[in-house]
A = this chain, B = another copy of it.
Amino acid sequence: MTIMENPVRNGVDTATLFATLDAVRQAPAAAQFQFRARNHWISGTHSRTTIEDFFGVGEERAHEAPTVHDVDHPKVLVGGDHAPTPVEYLLHALAGCLTAGLVNIAAARGIELTEVSSTVAGDIDLNGILGLDPTVRNGFSGITVSFRVKGDAPAEELAGLVERSRARSAVYDSLVNPVPVTIEVEAG
Contact = CB atoms under 8 A, between A and B. Distances in A.
A131 interface: yes
B188 A43 contact: no
A31 B130 contact: yes
A142 B180 contact: yes
Contacts of A92: 37, 39, 49, 51, 69, 71, 89
Nearest to A81: B64
B89 A10 contact: no
A181 B97 CA distance: 14
Contacts of A128: 168, 170, 173
Contacts of A85: 35, 96
Contacts of A24: 126-127, 130, 132
Nearest to A107: B44
Nearest to A145: B183
Interface residues of A, number: 133
A60 B43 CA distance: 27
B49 A95 contact: yes
B44 A71 contact: no
A16 B78 contact: yes
B138 A172 contact: yes
Nearest to A38: B119
A96 B12 contact: no
Given A78-B20, A140-B170, A150 B187 contact: yes
A95 B181 CA distance: 12
A99 B143 contact: no
